[in-house]
Homo-oligomer: A and B are copies of this chain.
Amino acid sequence: MHPTVDVSESGLTERQKDVLDAALALLVEAGDTLTMTSVARRASCSKESLYKWFGDRDGLLTATVQWQALKVRGVPVDPEAFNLASLTAGLEGFAADWLRVLSGNISVALNRVAVGHAGSDKHDLGAIVLENGPFAMARRLKPLLQLGRETGLLEFQETDEAFRTFFGLVVRDVQIRLLLGDRLGLNETAIDRDARRATQQFLALYGINTNQARNGHQS
């Protein structure tokens, strides 16, 4: 067995990870039009190896998407001292993170190819992106929401409904517009501003004893 086999929980060798990184870069550059030949050339590997490692083109794409998903495992936030300030900070940080990811080249490219494949017979990529996108976001956020409810800061019946409302307030039309090719330059200050606005609006809808105005204007 090779000494370089660092399979740490992904079943991939370093060489294969490099190949997937190359595929990821090509996916961002060329979208779904990337060819097996182009991946092999970019990664300086042979097509034979690509087929041996990943089976076929779809296997390569699937492995690439999963590899990227593995790299963005989120950072959980659950402090012990929990109050309105930490809840607000948690929501804002979450919203900002999500907007940053959404507006990144990699996310846009991956969602594009996954959406395309969801239309075909092969729903694999769509399911994977769904699992590591919206669903993963829900799994990460729901504990925070429930903690807010348990501590009397939030009031809602269905956690899922509350999450989806927060999702809507954060994402709005940003993702679909980016996917459709709209430029929509989202710089860091705009992201922070949007994160704060979405959080304030969410608290206005689901918060209990927030002493702010009823409508969601920030500052």
Bound Cα distance A176, B29 (Å)? 22
**Of B133, B173, B180, which contacts A118 at CB under 8 A?**
B180
Closest B residue to A179 using CB positions: B115
Total number of A residues with any Cβ neighbor in B under 8 Å: 48
Q: Which residue, of A111, A115, A129, A134, has the highest number of chain B Cβ atoms within 10 A?
A: A115
> B168 contacts A173, CB within 8 Å?
yes
Contacts of A86 in B (CB 8 A): none
Closest B residue to A102 using CB positions: B176
> B167 contacts A134, CB within 8 Å?
no
- Per assembly, the copies of the chain total 2
- CB A159 to nearest CB in B, in angstroms, measures 14
Q: Is A68 an interface residue (CB 8 A)?
A: no
**Of B109, B119, B169, which contacts A112 at CB under 8 A?**
B119
Contacts of A199 in B (CB 8 A): none
**Of B133, B173, B204, which contacts A164 at CB under 8 A?**
B173
Tell me which residues from 117 to 152 in chain A have a Cβ below 8 Å from any Cβ of chain B. Answer: 118-120, 123, 126-127, 129-130, 133-134
Which residues of A does B touch, CB under 8 Å? 31-33, 109, 111-116, 118-120, 123, 126-127, 129-130, 133-134, 155-157, 164-165, 167-173, 175-177, 179-182, 201, 204-207, 214-217
CB pairs A–B below 8 angstroms (30 shown): A31-B116, A32-B116, A32-B119, A33-B120, A112-B115, A112-B118, A114-B180, A115-B116, A115-B180, A116-B116, A123-B181, A126-B179, A126-B182, A127-B181, A130-B180, A130-B182, A134-B177, A155-B215, A156-B217, A157-B217, A164-B173, A168-B168, A168-B169, A168-B171, A168-B172, A169-B169, A204-B214, A205-B214, A205-B216, A207-B215
